[in-house]
Amino acid sequence: MAQLHHFSILKVSLLVLIALTYVSGKSFRTTKLGARNIFLRTTVDNESTTNSEEYEVYNYTQTLDHFNFKTESYTTFQQRYVVNSKYWGGPTNNSPIFLYAGAESDIMGDVQYGGFEHVLASRFNALLVYIEHRYYGTSMPFGSKDKAYKNADTLGYFSSEQALADYAQTILDVKKKMSAENCPVIVIGGSYGGMLASWFRLKYPHIAYGALASSAPILYFSGLTPENGYSSVVSKDFKSISTSCYKTIRESWFEIDRVALQPHGLAHLSRAFNTCLPLNTTHELKYSLELLYDVMAQYDNPTDNNIQTFCKATDGAGEKTYILDKILSGLATIYGDRCHDVFDPSISKDFGWDWQSCTEMVMPMGNGEDDTMFQADPFDLDKYSKKCEQAFGVTPRPYWAPIEFGGYDIKTVLEKFASNIIFSNGLRDPYSSGGVLQNISDTVVAVYTQEDRVVSGWQIVSKIATLELTMVRVIYILGHHCLDVEAPTATDPDWLVAQRDTEIKIIEGWLSKYTVPNAS
Ligand SMILES: *[C@@H]1O[C@H](CO)[C@@H](O)[C@H](O)[C@H]1NC(C)=O
Ligand SMILES: *[C@@H]1O[C@H](CO)[C@@H](O)[C@H](O)[C@H]1NC(C)=O
Ligand SMILES: *[C@@H]1O[C@H](CO)[C@@H](O)[C@H](O)[C@H]1NC(C)=O
Ligand SMILES: *[C@@H]1O[C@H](CO)[C@@H](O)[C@H](O)[C@H]1NC(C)=O
């Protein structure tokens, strides 16, 4: 942890890119979901890049609406999926199939980058099947994105329930084509894809034999997780690196407000922060900074140490330095001399996750008074709903996901009927606040990224100066969003290697108990 790494030029532009790409309201912070750290990835090492000769891309002719029998429901569209048989042991010895649940992006990004699923496939001689989520990538109903995203009538078939049903139909078809009907399917996914993976196992236990759900905030719904869960973890991440940095950020919002009220205050802030466009409101600046801190925390991986770099700069500016200058020193580590992109958060009609957040994936996120390093900004369902109505003409159903997928009293409920699910999390990931962090049964387990270090040292323990070797257990909270399902690298810390090994052993245990259906 001691070594500091600085943002490379590429990193800088990518960090800005995420801030730019994910232009959504604060309430729509879930747009930062994302299975893999694609946006902050600096070095795409060759090991983790999949050679295009290793996989085949196909389409499955998919049913538009699985849930009613109106004429229009029988319309079909082309759903993309990718098969990699490099590691496949073939159907005869029931080698497993790992189904990678596509999430809110083009599936080819996941296929080409290639992550932990390759390790699993190699270890278990498995077939890898990636299925793209409907309304993302090329898997567009109605023939094109423009048509699919036209209005609420065409977007109406865009839901997680339809996506799960798509995966069920597609994987059964793939199994049939490959004569692999007897092979067990294990679903794997990260972030929203992790939510889908765990829900798929719960809804389709006859199709999926197990699930690895990485950083899946299945409990970030109304009444299940405190709304400040996300921001609290971001705040803790900063505090754990530097209390003074945390305080600087905590106080900076009020200073921004104070300066803005001065004559020409906004113009002054625009100049000071070197914003690419003149600020119209302080909200634009504050929102952009908050999003930046959020992303730094969510993807604070062991080699990049985003927060450490930022805080070293704010703290290094000196205690007597003016507070906004401290922040600017931190920002300089990210932006360098380039201007600072700020924007007004708004819902985008072309952004699939915004549609999902405006319908069933309503994750209430807000901050209370003095409970995070951010200013108070409680989740306001009415305001949220109005924005959705304006953008899409739909009213969100925040109560629906927990009715459809459960979540209340999850331990008691899942203990009785569920099995074979790994909920993995990195505890420095703000989304872990809505994840499953307790072991529910022998086979529905929570695996964290954390490290238990035993720190030893000599200590004087009595008046007659007896030296004694003391051992102290210190638990370090570690791991960012979806870290475990990224491709392993040579520089991975021991705790991460150990976590992946635990996951492999658990899956090995499931597979050793697998019995072929209809076998006598
Ligand atoms: C990665 O691949 C590129 C092109 O295929 C090659 O030029 C480069 O040397 C490789 N890098 C490493 C670290 O193997
Ligand atoms: C799959 O369908 C899409 C959309 O219709 C099309 O552009 C693409 O060429 C098809 N791919 C294959 C492999 O058939
Ligand atoms: C300020 O408002 C103008 C006009 O609506 C807009 O074009 C511009 O992007 C806004 N500035 C920022 C920083 O968002
Ligand atoms: C849950 O069980 C797994 C497997 O036995 C174990 O590795 C893990 O540490 C347990 N998690 C918690 C939170 O106790």
Closest ligand (CA of 423): 4
Cβ of residue 281 lying under 6 Å from some atom of ligand 3: no
| Cross-strand partners of 59 | 80
The number of angstroms, rounded, from the C-alpha of 163 to the middle of its chain's C-alpha atoms is: 18
pLDDT, tens digit only, all 520 positions of the chain? 222 222 222 333 334 334 333 322 222 333 445 444 333 333 345 456 788 889 999 999 999 999 999 999 999 999 999 999 999 999 988 899 999 999 999 999 999 988 999 999 999 999 999 999 999 999 999 999 999 999 999 999 999 999 999 999 999 999 999 999 999 999 999 999 999 999 999 999 999 999 999 999 999 999 999 999 999 999 999 999 999 999 999 999 999 999 999 999 999 999 999 999 999 999 999 999 999 999 999 988 777 788 999 999 999 999 899 999 999 999 999 888 899 988 777 888 999 999 999 999 999 999 999 899 999 999 999 999 999 999 999 999 999 999 999 999 999 999 999 999 999 999 999 999 999 999 999 999 999 876 666 666 555 555 555 566 666 666 667 888 999 999 999 989 888 999 999 999 999 999 999 998 775 5
Q: Is 186 helix (H, G, I), strand (E, B) or coil?
A: strand
Cβ of residue 269 lying under 6 Å from some atom of ligand 3: no
Instruction: Give the C-alpha separation, 357 to 275, whole Å.
Output: 29
Centre of ligand 2 to C-alpha 173, Å, is: 17
Centre of ligand 1 to C-alpha 110, Å, is: 20
Closest ligand (CA of 44): 1
In this structure, what are the phi and psi dihedrals at residue 129, rounded to the nearest 5 degrees?
-130, 120
Only one residue has tokens 């959504």, namely 24
List Cβ neighbours of 442 (8 Å cut-off, separation of 6 or more): none
What local confidence, expressed as pLDDT, does residue 32 receive? 47
Give one DSSP letter per residue of 44-87, joined into a string: --GGGS--GGGEEEEEEEEES-TT---GGGG-EEEEEEEEE-TT
Centre of ligand 2 to C-alpha 139, Å, is: 9
Protein residue with its CA nearest to atom 8 in ligand 3: 277
Cβ of residue 344 lying under 6 Å from some atom of ligand 3: yes
What local confidence, expressed as pLDDT, does residue 450 receive? 66
Closest ligand (CA of 435): 4
What local confidence, expressed as pLDDT, does residue 335 receive? 87
Instruction: Give the C-alpha separation, 200 to 216, whole Å.
Output: 13
Task: Please pick, among 377, 429, 484, 492, the residue that the annotation labels catalytic.
Answer: 429
The number of angstroms, rounded, from the C-alpha of 250 to the middle of its chain's C-alpha atoms is: 25
Instruction: Give the C-alpha separation, 464 to 6, whole Å.
Output: 49
Dig out the tokens for 150 from the structure. 């036209």
Answer yes or no: are the C-beta atoms of 175 and 131 closer than 8 Å. no
Task: Please pick, among 191, 198, 215, 432, the residue that the annotation labels catalytic.
Answer: 191
b/e map of 319-355 (b: 16 or more CB within 10 Å)?
eebebbebbbbbbebbbeeeebbbbebebbeebbbbb
Q: Has this prediction a pTM greater than 0.85? A: yes
Question: How many Cβ atoms are within 10 Å of 266's Cβ, its own excluded?
Answer: 19
List Cβ neighbours of 473 (8 Å cut-off, separation of 6 or more): 452, 453, 454, 455
Question: Which atom of ligand 2 sits closest to the CA of residue 80?
Answer: 1
Cβ of residue 514 lying under 6 Å from some atom of ligand 3: no
Q: Which of 109, 32, 162 is nearest to 434 (CA)?
A: 32
Burial of 4 (0-12, 13-18, 19+ CB in 10 A): exposed
| Cross-strand partners of 449 | 426
What local confidence, expressed as pLDDT, does residue 472 receive? 63
Pocket test for ligand 2, best of 106, 138, 139 (most atoms within 8 A of CB): 138
Instruction: Give the C-alpha separation, 201 to 101, whole Å.
Output: 11
